[in-house]
Amino acid sequence: MAERFLVVLPTYNESTNLPRIVPRILAQDPRLEILVVDDNSPDGTGRLATDLAGLNPRVHVLHRTKKEGLGRAYLAGFGWGLGRDYDLLFEMDADSSHDPKFLLDLIKAADQGADVALGSRYKTGVNVINWPMSRLLLSYGANLYAKWITGLPLTDATGGFKCFRKAVLQAIPLDKVRSNGYAFQIEMSFRAWRKKFRLVEVPIVFVDRAEGSSKMNRGIVWEGVWVVWWLRVARLFGRL
Ligand SMILES: Nc1nc2c(ncn2[C@@H]2O[C@H](COP(=O)(O)OP(=O)(O)OP(=O)(O)O)[C@@H](O)[C@H]2O)c(=O)[nH]1
Ligand SMILES: [Mg+2]
């Protein structure tokens, strides 16, 4: 059977961005489909997603009742996609920070044997556009910290533009994944790495969102601070 790919696109108040990004994703490769996972956005993004799904059979939507964070949205989307037997499952932001053209690089890395292909902002220098220096330092520092504590061999462990081979998501006990913000990205990659899957980073350029507002908050940063220690300890005791 022909290969099928699913881009899981979590949204919370992305009504300006969603209708722009969807056709750009679909144009990259005919094997790509999209699952919008909307947490009942007050700005009506969910209704827009339903409309887009009605117009194109390659677009699907999962409505959730309340905002539960990025990690929960992805886990619900992965469950949906695994149940429908997609071969590759992608994570991608809907806020236009992730240019759909890099999907082709992720697909290529998977074709060449990567089990997890990860878009990296820091593999070839610093490829971040329009972030204030404070935000860049936070992200860059968080990555050094995560690498130092967990040993995860990645230049960008907190990035959210990724491609998982189906077998990886089947091997990770998704009901045990506990983190939800940027730490969710670290935890997923860490679990895949511990299970000896092949992680390959591909360089991407990240552009700060032009529309809508950031959902980043202090709780998300603090979660990252302790989750890396939990991963390290769990690894020490052979729990991961
Ligand atoms: N369904 C769902 N989507 C979310 C939630 N939080 C963030 N998102 C979406 O996830 C994607 C990435 O979010 P983040 O990058 O963490 O947040 P952000 O608002 O883009 O913040 P920046 O890192 O400042 O760009 C965007 O498409 C958001 O709309 C949530 O709780 N539920
Ligand atoms: Mg963003």
Q: What is the pLDDT of residues 13-49, one digit of tens each?
A: 999 999 999 999 999 999 999 999 999 999 999 999 9
Angle, CA 212 vertex, CA 107 and CA 227 arms, to 5°: 60
> Atom of ligand 1 at shortest distance to CA of 12?
29
Task: Kindly state if the Cβ of 81 falls inside 6 Å of ligand 1.
Answer: no
The average pLDDT across 201-228 equals: 94
Residue-wise pLDDT for 122-167, tens only, equals 999 999 999 999 999 999 999 999 999 999 999 999 999 999 999 9
The dihedral of CA 66, 69, 71, 73: what is its sign? positive
Cα 49 to ligand 2 centre (Å): 19
pLDDT score of 87: 98
pLDDT at 1 over 80: no
User: What is the average pLDDT across 85-110?
Assistant: 98
Sign for the CA dihedral angle at 196, 200, 206, 212 comes to negative
Instruction: Give the Cα separation of 10 and 38 in Å (integer).
Output: 6
Residue reference for tokens 């679909």: 26
Give the residue among 188, 229, 218, 219 at the shortest CA–CA distance from 8.
188
Kindly tell me if the per-residue pLDDT of 239 is higher than 90: no
Mean pLDDT to the nearest integer, 97-107: 98
Q: Closest residue (by CA) to atom 18 of ligand 1?
A: 214
Nearest ligand by distance to the CA of 142 = 1
Q: Is the CB of 215 under 6 A from ligand 1?
A: yes
Q: Is 159 in the pocket of ligand 1 (CB under 6 A)?
A: no
- The average pLDDT across 76-94 equals 98
